[in-house]
A = this chain, B = another copy of it.
Amino acid sequence: MSHTAELIAVGTEILLGNIANTDAQMLSEGLSALGINVFYHTVVGDNPQRLLEALAIARKRADIIITTGGLGPTYDDLTKQTICQAFGRALELHPDILEGIRAFFEERLGRTMPPQNEQQAMLPVGCTIFDNPVGTAPGCAFEEGGVHVLMLPGPPHECRYMFENRAVPYLKKLSDGAIVSHELKIFGMGESQVESLLRERMIAMENPTLAPYAKMNECLLRATAKAETAEAAEAMLAPVIEQLRELLGDVVYGMDVPNIETVVLRDLLAKGLTLSTAESCTGGLIAKRLTDLPGASKAFLGGVVSYSNELKRAALQVPGELLDQKGPVSQEVALAMVKGCRALTGSDLAVAVTGVAGPDKDERGNEVGTIYIALASPQGALCRPLPHTGRKERNVLRHRAANFALDMVRRWLEGLL
């Protein structure tokens, strides 16, 4: 039986544009991986009457309602009370949950629980409790008249934890069998190209299903199987994944990984190698993305943001005459930068980027999007131009140049370059 979910975010701060409803994106992606349809998102303010109306509409068109937000301790946190009113349930105090909130305050936040947090331990009679080890607001779920209502906290890191560790197990029990999905992450082949490559052979498959998605400068392919058990679903997926990997080749940079920098760091650590960066037009973006990852310091040594010619000379030993003759945006300078970076940092590998991110051409007339990326290893150095795609926006170009540089490192580490 197939389920339909509706997401209701509760929070005036979303309606004021103070924050984006990123919880809805995370939940939608997760529900899609579970094979649950999502037909509507709704956002409503901290207003009980309007939330009642949204609930009345949602229960007519969905059999799973997931709310986010409004579980906090203040007077305008009204999600539980309003849902109980809509579904005719009472709230009751759970002493063990109260104890947990008290302990969270004392151990994690180093202070005494304020009295108003007691209401966070009030939960609907007969619900499944979702205890929350990453915040103070527990979530919960109940079923009423064929509709499952799940309540999750609003702060994104709490919402994600509670969805993955509490809501997903609850939702999996609602389906007859098991649903397993895997994501192949792809850089260097667009969504439409992936789609046309797969259309004939595989896109019509019913179980497992395949769906490609475009992401910022990359794409992903999700394969989902339904079976009686997770093991059986995995067994159905294995040959499909193998076939996809064969078909797509080395543009697949990983499976079930969040991004390419994670793969680069993992591969560096596995091989015991170090990396450094010399960035002109990406201006620190590659270093920033690598150091977003906890533990990056074990393999990433840092580098130089050589935004000026002077710094290319002083820190990276790029010869002045090379800069004069070839210009800073050139294969030759990219190669000199990457060699200089490796010499400066003593890293095993180094990567360098120089180019024109726009909005204007450089003074030598290089077009926006002219970008060179070089990689140095103990075996030597090589340089590649960033392939053109027609996109000229500064942030898109910078992000794609960073992806390309990280992918060059991955390819070298995996013997693909």
Contacts and interface: CB of A to CB of B under 8 A. Distances in A.
A193 interface: no
A334 to B, nearest CB: 15
A416 interface: no
Contacts of A291: 281-285, 305, 307, 398
A361 interface: no
A65 to B, nearest CB: 15
A217 interface: no
A40 B43 contact: yes
Interface stretch (A84-92, A194-202, A388-396): A388-396
A330 interface: no
B27 A17 contact: yes
Contacts of A301: 307-308, 310-311
A28 B14 contact: yes
Contacts of A285: 284, 288, 291
Contacts of A50: 39-40
A360 to B, nearest CB: 8
6 contacts: A40-B50, A109-B390, A301-B307, A302-B304, A302-B307, A304-B315
Interface stretch (A174-182, A237-245, A292-300): A292-300
Contacts of A215: 18
A22 to B, nearest CB: 5
A166 to B, nearest CB: 18
A304 B305 CA distance: 6
A18 B345 contact: no
Interface in A210-256: 211, 213-215
Given A41-B41, A344-B315, A297 B288 contact: no
Question: 8 shortest A-B CB distances, which residue pairs?
Answer: A283-B291, A17-B29, A284-B287, A284-B284, A17-B28, A302-B307, A41-B43, A302-B305
Interface in A1-56: 9, 13-22, 24-32, 38-45, 47, 50, 53-54
A311 B347 CA distance: 10
Contacts of A17: 24-32, 38
